[in-house]
Structure 1
Amino acid sequence: MVIMSQPMLLKKNNERMLFIDSIKGLAIFLVCWGHSIQFVKKAGVSFFENPLFIIIYSFHMPLFMIISGYLFFYSLQRNEMGELIKKKILQLMLPSASWFILESILIGRNINIPNLRYGLIFPFWFLSSLFFLSITMSLSQAVYKGKPWIIFSVIFFISLFFGDSWNMDRTKFMAPYFLLGVSVHYFINYIRSNKHKLGLVSLITWIVMLFFWDKSDYIYITKMSFHGVEFTKQLKVVLFRYAIGFAGCFSIMYLYSYTSKLKLFTLFASSLGIYTLPIYIISTLILSRIANYIDITTYCDNSIIYNFIITPIYAFFIITLCILIAKYLKKTWVTRFLFLGGR
């Protein structure tokens, strides 16, 4: 029996944080790998049908959001709502604004309120979604301190019947994963004692569901709102999308837990994990632009070479460049504060 009473507060020991950072490192590599498939391609080729792209996009952003929710739990326990909001503005929205303004200066874009509002929400959509969900959870905690997940869930279900404008489609898509990350602390003992059962069931479910993936299952295609669409059809898409996302995340974490003995791999992945914010932002800004100068047409016809040699090499190149830029920005407190959220 699972009792949802008090969370098990885990100490942030070095071993646990190493595992979390390494999972984050894997997730950010998958983000860059997926973007490489999206942008470094032969003209006219649809990345939506690429099997590797489908596998990555079935779970990679949900995985990131589960980790974010897991870590946010500690902030929720230790900070008042006002302090939490202040921290999230500085950690998430300030870097988004700073990078967007810098990009605008470099490309000659007007810096005005409409453009800045766009820049805070769309280019780095995951950060704006994480900010919104963090604030929503903080407010839910303030309203119902014992069970904030109830208020959070009610807000989520109500939002499904409103529009998807201003990034609300992706924010709504991410909400259950964020909630799971926050709530997993209540079930940590159950998960540990049933690790193999949950892992194997998730893995089988994920693999089977991948065969039924359709282009309409991408969040970018069918969005999230039930407003103005055929209810039954949208419900089927949304439920499938969540099911494969959860199954994929559990499968990856289960499989990844067996890499803990590979110390060099774990250390390498964790070294990427501590730079997820700058890698995500900088790669978003430069990946597609650099891809415009790369001609890989002759390699696209061989899917093995393209998927497992060309695009991962390009992803590693972009990640290395992002880390070098981030290390340079860390040298002064001003650039660290503006572009890295003070990290």
Structure 2
Amino acid sequence: MKVTNTKSRNIYFDLLKGIAIILVAYGHVLQTFNSDWESSSIGKTIYAFHMPLFMLISGYFFYPSVQKTDMTHFIKKRFIHLYLPSLIWGLFSCFLIGGGKLFSSQHLDFKYFIDLILTGAWYLTLLFILQITGAVIERFYSKYKYIAWGCVYLMIYVAPQLWMMRELKYLMLFFVTAIALRKYDWSKCSYKIGVLFLLIFIATMKVYTFEHSMYRMPDSIFTTDYHSSAFIRFIAGLSGSICIIWLTSYLQNIKNITILIAKIGIITLPVYVLHQKLLIINGILHISTNNLITLICFTAIDIFLSVMIYKFLNKNKTLSLLLFGE
């Protein structure tokens, strides 16, 4: 949990990851406690870019990690760090949902539960797939990596909406974009770039709706809506993310805020997998609110409890490995 000094660790990216996970948590809190969450302009804005922002950060750190070791060792490490905890949390969700259905004598759809286990914490599964794909490309097609990524994306773009395809179509471009943008110092994003993408984001949000989101992605590639939605999704995600990257370059100079949010940014994986599970309690409490201050307070409580639970579970090496890939 300790934030090291800037000579040994770039605090900027811990701060950026902390902001990203706070936005993700707020989005889920909004979805849980506000039945009319789709009409929230703040919710729509956050959902337009919060997962692309996470994927850009992941893509930024991909090539330095894949170049440190051979492909076999890299895949093993990524499995332990990403897909193992995803599978375990998928099993946990399976028992939780399955137990609830058995208790209430509801029908059990075994195909759904298999998909639930294999998908697990979907972002971790998606990141695992992308990093393994990237490792293979780096191993065999390093000189032509962008052409190889382009061919992979083209095949996925026209593929039917099978397991994880929606997620791949939505977020792969951000992963590859971050690889291309790694040569720039994100912590020194210029004022001109920030303002330019802020204006683009504002303009895009005039037409962006939840119908453009990954969850409402049309199935047929032979429609204009399919391609226009993909374009709007990408522009909204990229411009919104760059706005946060730009604003974070100013926030890093505010010491107290930097240290607090950066501490959360160091443990984004545990917070990601735990905070949603805590929100299940509203199935009993049935709290409903659209008050912004209340939702922010719920988000802070949700993250705080996630950190406390993580610190407790992390004391056991086996649980730390299985649940958090550590």
Provide TM-score, normalisation by structure 2.
Answer: 0.88
| 8 A contact 1:97–1:116 mirrored in 2 | no
Deviations 1:213-268 (CA, angstroms, capped at 9, x unpaired): 22321110125x5xx34432211111111011111011111112111110110111
Partner of 1:92: 82
Return the match for 1:58 from 15, 33, 48.
Answer: 48
Partner of 1:76: 66
Tell me: CA distance 1:34–1:107, structure 2 relative to 1, closer, same or farther (3 Å). closer
Partner of 1:197: 192
Tell me: CA distance 1:84–1:212, structure 2 relative to 1, closer, same or farther (3 Å). same
CA distance in 2, matches of 1:333, 1:202: 44
Query: Within the alignment, does 1:318 sit opposite 2:316 as a pair?
Result: no
Partner of 1:21: 14
| 8 A contact 1:93–1:120 mirrored in 2 | no
Q: Match of 1:292, as an amino acid?
A: G
| 8 A contact 1:25–1:276 mirrored in 2 | yes
Tell me: CA distance 1:144–1:212, structure 2 relative to 1, closer, same or farther (3 Å). same
- Counting matched residue pairs gives 313
- 1:211 Cα deviation after fit: 1.7
CA distance in 1, matches of 2:117, 2:274: 14
| 8 A contact 2:86–2:122 mirrored in 1 | no
Tell me: CA distance 1:131–1:49, structure 2 relative to 1, closer, same or farther (3 Å). same
CA distance in 2, matches of 1:260, 1:176: 27
| 8 A contact 2:221–2:227 mirrored in 1 | no
- Output aligned runs, 1:175-186, within 5 Å: 175-186=172-183
CA distance in 2, matches of 1:93, 1:116: 15
Query: Within the alignment, does 1:161 sit opposite 2:154 as a pair?
Result: no
Q: Match of 1:36, as an amino acid?
A: V
| 8 A contact 1:137–1:149 mirrored in 2 | no
Partner of 1:262: 254
Return the match for 1:38 from 26, 31, 34.
Answer: 31
- 1:285 Cα deviation after fit: 2.5
Tell me: CA distance 1:207–1:275, structure 2 relative to 1, closer, same or farther (3 Å). same
- Output aligned runs, 1:213-292, within 5 Å: 213-223=208-218, 228-287=220-279, 289-292=280-283
CA distance in 1, matches of 2:190, 2:95: 50
Q: Gapped runs of 5+ residues in structure 1?
A: 1-11, 301-305
| 8 A contact 2:56–2:174 mirrored in 1 | yes
| 8 A contact 2:189–2:245 mirrored in 1 | no
| 8 A contact 1:69–1:178 mirrored in 2 | yes
Tell me: CA distance 1:150–1:39, structure 2 relative to 1, closer, same or farther (3 Å). same
| 8 A contact 1:100–1:116 mirrored in 2 | no
Partner of 1:120: 118
Tell me: CA distance 1:252–1:106, structure 2 relative to 1, closer, same or farther (3 Å). closer
- 1:332 Cα deviation after fit: 2.1
CA distance in 1, matches of 2:16, 2:56: 11
| 8 A contact 2:15–2:252 mirrored in 1 | no
Tell me: CA distance 1:213–1:321, structure 2 relative to 1, closer, same or farther (3 Å). same
- Identity across aligned pairs (percent)? 27
CA distance in 2, matches of 1:114, 1:310: 34
- 1:108 Cα deviation after fit: 5.3
| 8 A contact 1:124–1:284 mirrored in 2 | no
RMSD: 2.3
CA distance in 1, matches of 2:60, 2:156: 23
CA distance in 2, matches of 1:216, 1:229: 16
Partner of 2:102: none
Q: Match of 1:324, as an amino acid?
A: M
| SS at 2:142 equivalent | coil
| SS at 1:212 equivalent | coil
CA distance in 1, matches of 2:80, 2:136: 18
Tell me: CA distance 1:201–1:16, structure 2 relative to 1, closer, same or farther (3 Å). farther
| 8 A contact 2:211–2:217 mirrored in 1 | yes
Partner of 2:103: none
Which range is displaced more, 319-328 or 143-152?
A: 143-152
CA distance in 2, matches of 1:261, 1:142: 39
Partner of 2:320: 336
CA distance in 1, matches of 2:23, 2:162: 27
